[in-house]
Chains A and B, each alone.
Chain A
Amino acid sequence: MRISLTINGEQHQADCWEGESLLFALREKLGFPGSKNACEQGECGSCSVLLDGTLVCACLVLAVQADGHDVTTVEGLADGDTLHVVQQAFVDAGAVQCGFCTPGLVVATADLLKRVPSPTDDEIREALSGNLCRCTGYAKIFDAVRLAASLS
């Protein structure tokens, strides 16, 4: 089935088999591999994207469900070489190690700060509890969120 959707502000089209997830279509057919494939069952948050402004796991959305909708991926956050404030904070705070969880966490953090500009520590932890990270122990991720909040 041919789908047409807006990704990071631009129109894209792809031919998708009905069983393909939005994540697979983004990564393998549409040229947006930034969203990651860590569990593909909605447990790890590595594929977090915004679908019509709502944070979702792209692995749990069928590609055909995204037909006609608006998707923002991690690739859509930076303005050219200028990083989004959340991305810059992740770099500065040392919140990136292997980085496989990072795109999902960056998208989830940007979503959090849009909803809650000055989150408490508990709010940060709860908001990010659906995003698994195996490298950092989360400490520097929390630092990054606080840093981004202070700069936003």
Chain B
Amino acid sequence: MTQTATPRTLQVGKIGELVPRIDAPPKVKGEFAYASDLIVPGMLWGHTVRSPHAHARILSIDISEALTMAGVHAVLTHEDVPGKKTYGLEFADQPVLAIDRVLYYGESVALVAAEHPEQARRAAEKIRVEYEPLDPVTDMELATEQPDLHPERPTRGHGYFDDQRPNVVRHMLIKHGDIDAEGDVSVSGVYDIGIQDQAFLGPESGLAVPDGEGGVDIYVATQWLHVDRAQVAPCLDLPLEQVRIHLAGVGGAFGGREDLSMQVHGALLALHTNRPVKIVYNREESFTGHVHRHPARIWCEHRATREGRLVNVRMRILLDGGAYASSSTAVASNAGSFAAGPYEVPNAFIESTAVYSNNPPCGAMRGFGAVQTCFASEAQMDKLAAALEIDPIELRLLNALKPGDVLPTGQVITGSMPIAETIRAAAALEPPPEEALPRDVLRLPGGAGNTTNGEGVHRGVGFGVGFKNIAYSEGFDDYCAARVRLLADGSAEIHCAAAEVGQGVTGVILQVARTELGIEDVRLAPGQTSTVDSAGSASASRMTWMAAGAVRDACRAALEEQQRRPGEEVDVEKIYRHARTTPLDPETGQITGERAHVAFAACAMKVVAEVDVDLGLTRIVWIGCAQDVGKAVNPQQVEGQIEGGTAQGLGLALMEEIQTRDGLITNASFTDYLIPTALDMPPVESVLIEDPEPDAPYGVKGVGEPPTVVSTAAIVAALRAATGRELTRVPVKPDDICLVSDT
């Protein structure tokens, strides 16, 4: 947002105030210790040997030569995993190290520990893995007719629809009202979304330190310490207490650190060598070493009355989950749950299917299923507006969800749902006037790559609105613990394992504690598994809400305890849970209790784009955003989330896609996988809509995901307005604009 910088006035730091981040000074000085910065004496370097095939049988692994290489202390394979051989966020279907087959390009096969990273890398080259390549499953539409990659069906028996077809991770059905209901008009379309990468800048890294008594401390960049421990300990065949996970500095996450990366591997090498072992992925490895956003194909039909009221939304969503389950079951459910957008829809038939393949594994990324469907659904709303000759914003207002309305899952909205206010606020934002030609080439579509004087530049304005859930859904036992110590010197120490991934939850925790305790001298202890119970994941736009609830409750309990025992130190731990959710019915996708989702947050955007229709080059000129934030705990940080979340959606709209050939990633670098730079991002003008969530502490809502959900859709809407093209696939490429004809 183009505004003058905030004056530096240190405030007390309560809820709603603009508080400087306590981690900002060490970060600007280069003193903040990220996971990849950790060094201890005697440390070895770990290296991961990865599969060059997307699908192959492993015939043999010969480590003998590697073991003789200079500086090498250990070479490990699946045979060295002492405990459970597989792990997974919800379904343990992924081997710690490949056993007799590999299912994706870059799958971990063996490990090396050596004195120097180059020695480890060279030793890794001497490990002889004999593969028998197999035909990879790479087309998600054909996956359900091809040989089962997971014949044991790890996701079966968890209450999902029992789909017998091969390679189905989850098939989710929503049947709402009369699924055959007809309208006066109907529009349909097919939309495609490429694979997006989180592309956090801090690569996967960690340091595992043996404790000399059989246990291990793992210092790692992660999103959820306790779920890491729950997965790591069984693989090491250790009790939970002997595996202590510590939060090291996290260089961004965006969902890509929900699944394990180096945690088990580092611990295996450390315990095997009895030396600390550090593993740092390089960028190419990072692209293969974490899950991505699911690519999707979405078939839609929207039926409406002549007046523009939606009558029936029918959608089929296909998501490629890649080789392992990760969080695909939840992504499929989210895609289905929010497929119809933030609109009141009396009838709906939605199928959402995630499949296994030999493509890169997909899982959580900011927006979590709602990004893909928002892109499709908002394109449909614009098509409908055109078919009905209704203003697209009026059409959205006419159908906007509000409290008391019913979602396609049958859930009645009981909390905050200011969709119409959010739409109006974004629509009211005034874009800058069109800039005359000629102008500096940097401000032409394509920037310095534009070879014209702007003769082919067309301007378009697009609009989009979307929403998603906050916190975990469908009956998940979602909680957050916080512990408060009131010390003799009048200060307080907070323990909470909430992962600071850059989003600013540390500040939220301190602000809540200061608000509740009425003191300034509050410290947050380092996040770790051994001093406090789980905080749950720093994901699903849940961490602010959950940490605020837990810290608030723990502070209040601590103050009560202090009153009972004046003069004594107090140490209290409390667990906070949001309202209970229940699973969706597997046959109908309807709620089986009051709610499947806890609460919702929305965002609306108006986008001005310029397109050089001769060259196919684009420039996003300006983005106006109104976001439903509940209560802004720290307005500066909320704006930062909106601006950053918008940028990631812009990346998906215009440039970001993991490209594969027969399942092999062909662009695993920042040279070939482009993310928005300072030249790509327009000013983002944001308006915060504060409509407190009644069930949430202080009325807060998560703010990280909604802008990412919406910006892709809104940006492509602006490109359509500028070009007249349908643009049904993201990222939009120059060829889509200037070569392909829409017929």
Beyond A124-B678, A134-B201, whether A92 also contacts B21 by CB under 8 A is no
Q: Which residues of B contact A147 (CB under 8 A)?
A: 4-5
- Shortest CB-to-CB span from B334 to chain A, Å, is 22
Beyond A90-B24, A102-B28, A103-B30, whether A146 also contacts B5 by CB under 8 A is yes
- Shortest CB-to-CB span from B505 to chain A, Å, is 11
Q: In the assembly, what is the distance between CA of A132 and CA of B283, in Å?
A: 13
Contact check: which of B198, B200, B684 meets A137 at CB < 8 Å? B684
Q: Mark A84-99, 1 if CB is under 8 A from B, else 0.
A: 0001111111101111
B29 touches A133 (CB 8 A): no
Q: Mark A4-39, 1 if CB is under 8 A from B, else 0.
A: 000000000000010110000001100011111111
B30 touches A74 (CB 8 A): yes
B29 touches A87 (CB 8 A): yes
Residue of A nearest to B711 (CB): A137
B677 touches A39 (CB 8 A): no
B678 touches A129 (CB 8 A): yes
Q: Which residues of B contact A94 (CB under 8 A)?
A: 6, 21, 636-637, 639-640
Q: A75: CB under 8 A from chain B?
A: yes
Beyond A122-B443, A125-B679, whether A91 also contacts B21 by CB under 8 A is yes
Q: B116: CB under 8 A from chain A?
A: yes
A100 touches B5 (CB 8 A): no
Beyond A98-B502, A99-B32, A132-B201, whether A17 also contacts B643 by CB under 8 A is no
Q: Which residues of B contact A98 (CB under 8 A)?
A: 200-202, 250-253, 501-502
Residue of B nearest to A144 (CB): B5
B669 touches A39 (CB 8 A): yes
Q: B646: CB under 8 A from chain A?
A: yes
Q: Which residues of A contact B21 (CB under 8 A)?
A: 91, 94, 96
Q: In the assembly, what is the distance between CA of A46 and CA of B39, in Å?
A: 19
Q: In the assembly, what is the distance between CA of A102 and CA of B678, in Å?
A: 14
Q: B671: CB under 8 A from chain A?
A: yes
Beyond A40-B282, A44-B201, A91-B21, whether A137 also contacts B30 by CB under 8 A is no
A134 touches B648 (CB 8 A): yes
A37 touches B280 (CB 8 A): yes
Residue of B nearest to A139 (CB): B643
A129 touches B283 (CB 8 A): no
Count chain A residues whose beta carbon lies closer than 8 angstroms to a beta carbon of B: 64
Question: Which secondary structure characterizes the binding site on chain B?
Answer: loop
Question: Which secondary structure characterizes the binding site on chain A?
Answer: loop
A88 touches B8 (CB 8 A): yes
A99 touches B669 (CB 8 A): no
Q: In the assembly, what is the distance between CA of A74 and CA of B442, in Å?
A: 29
B251 touches A83 (CB 8 A): no
Q: In the assembly, what is the distance between CA of A41 and CA of B668, in Å?
A: 12
Q: B416: CB under 8 A from chain A?
A: no
Q: Mark A115-130, 1 if CB is under 8 A from B, else 0.
A: 0000000101110111
Q: B412: CB under 8 A from chain A?
A: no
Contact check: which of A39, A88, A131 meets B678 at CB < 8 Å? A131
Q: Mark B652-680, 1 if CB is under 8 A from A, else 0.
A: 00000000000000000111000111110
- Shortest CB-to-CB span from A129 to chain B, Å, is 5
Q: B203: CB under 8 A from chain A?
A: yes
Q: B27: CB under 8 A from chain A?
A: yes
Contact check: which of A37, A73, A87 meets B36 at CB < 8 Å? A37
Beyond A28-B39, A73-B30, A126-B442, whether A140 also contacts B640 by CB under 8 A is yes
Q: In the assembly, what is the distance between CA of A28 and CA of B278, in Å?
A: 12
B640 touches A135 (CB 8 A): yes
Q: A106: CB under 8 A from chain B?
A: yes
B23 touches A99 (CB 8 A): yes
Q: In the assembly, what is the distance between CA of A97 and CA of B118, in Å?
A: 32
Residue of A nearest to B30 (CB): A34
A99 touches B639 (CB 8 A): no
Beyond A75-B30, A91-B25, A97-B502, whether A122 also contacts B442 by CB under 8 A is yes
Q: Which residues of B contact A43 (CB under 8 A)?
A: 669-671
- Shortest CB-to-CB span from B650 to chain A, Å, is 8
Beyond A36-B202, A139-B1, whether A91 also contacts B681 by CB under 8 A is no
Closest 6 CB pairs of A and B: A34-B30, A98-B502, A99-B27, A100-B251, A147-B5, A137-B647
A-B contact pairs, 15 of them (CB 8 A): A33-B33, A38-B202, A41-B671, A74-B29, A87-B28, A91-B24, A91-B25, A92-B20, A96-B27, A100-B34, A100-B252, A106-B28, A132-B201, A137-B646, A137-B684
